[in-house]
Amino acid sequence: MKFKIGKYFTTYSITAGLSIAVLGSAFIYLAWLGISNRIVDTSLGVLFFWFLLKSDRRIWLWSGFFISLLWFWWIVVSFKHYQMLWAIPIGLLAISLIYALLFWTIAAVSEWLAAALTPKPHTGHASLSKAIGILGLSHIHPFGFDWFKPELLFVHSYIGVQKWQLAIVLAAIILSQYRKHILFLLLVLFAYAPAKTTVYYQDPHSDMLLAHTMTTVEEKWDPARIPAHITEVFAIIDKAISDHRQTVVLPESVFPFFLNKEPKILDALLERSRQITIIIGALYLDDKSIHRNATYIIQKGRYTIANKVLLVPFGESNPLPEWVGRWVNKVFFDGAIDYIASAKPTDFTVHGTRYRNAICYEACSEVLYEGSPKQMIVISNNGWFIPSIEPTLQRLLLEFYSRKYGTEIHHSVNMSPSYTIKADSI
């Protein structure tokens, strides 16, 4: 494989890559605008894969570059909270180059295999390898980050979100292009799935209150404002009690301190838990002085802990080698200490219903859905990425998993609306 850099910086390659990336990202921005149409999302998804499979490695490189930019630019919004505005363009470039390299590798290897193994190479041969690469993309997690799912394009469409349904779509496109007959696209009908998800915002008649707070990152970690945060949290709980709710769920780290080391606050929560079950996010310090991001499940005067399983790369746990990670934390993150993750997800029972615990980032990972839990409670703090499309992409991923596994998801959020997601069927 020869790499001539000049051939990649042509107007056609860059424009074609950008156009394909727009097709593959439009569903996010339509959802962000509150626009949902199953015909439109189905068409956009099929067109994205059609043009991507038809393109060569140069266009794949730019498609990966711009897809990453359009899907994940929000990651660098968090830099402003560390006074690292200078790092934003560097972060954008790094994120985009990672996916550009992934896409280029899939296309380049596919084209090389087609040329090496087939006496008379045809674009259809390379397309088959590229399709296999697309199916495998959701299993490639740079630095442990696994929010890129090709199947996600169909979350609001008439096409299912299972891997085999994406395989049918790709096969239909390849046959149409290889045999040069558009009727092969009718095979997409075999990937049809009537199931969809419905998002419910604050139901006043529900026994469960999914609390929604609006506390910025700066306010949350300002010691002078902690008394005000505590007052706000207890006001929400007391209102839920007066409204005869059975359960109240509050967002991730709504208490930005080690709650188990604050006996007065904990005792007040335990006392109220005799009237209402309280599920609340806060930090937890165990007997070995290990820091954990935790959910406190407080009911009937007692509490249990559900610790986070998958930590945010760099934000909560540095994925780099230890000696490099310590230096990065010291220089860029004010010497922050990494959290420690639990080995497996925690399930707990509230009022006879069993729930899977999930904290923000990890709720968008396949690992948390092992065993197909019927109910999940998610607590999040989206303040790090406001304003951006991150809350929308997060909700789409939760809808994706709800639709894929049939899990009903209850999501309490800081800095974006709280909601429940229900899937019609798997």
| pLDDT band for position 8 (cuts 50, 70, 90) | confident
Tell me the Ramachandran region of residue 353: left when phi exceeds 0, alpha when psi lies from -120 to 50, beta otherwise: beta
Q: Let me know if 402 is exposed, middle or buried by CB neighbors in 10 A (0-12, 13-18, 19+).
A: buried
Q: Are 380 and 413 in contact (CB under 8 A)?
A: yes
Per-residue pLDDT for 287 more than 80?
no
Q: Let me know if 330 is exposed, middle or buried by CB neighbors in 10 A (0-12, 13-18, 19+).
A: exposed
Which uninterrupted H or E stretch holds 317?
none
Length of the chain: 426
Out of 130, 149, 196, 252, pick the active-site residue.
Answer: 252
What pLDDT is recorded for position 180? 84
Out of 360, 362, 364, 404, pick the active-site residue.
Answer: 360
Q: Which amino acid is at 91?
A: G
What pLDDT is recorded for position 424? 82
Task: Tell me, yes or no, if the pTM score tops 0.75.
Answer: yes
What pLDDT is recorded for position 163? 97
Rounded distance between C-alpha atoms, residue 283 and residue 255, angstroms: 7
Catalytic, 308? Answer yes
What pLDDT is recorded for position 426? 45
Structure-model confidence comparison of residues 317 and 266, the more confident one:
266
**Distance (Å) of CA 16 to CA 40, 51, 57, 127, 185:** 21, 9, 12, 17, 22
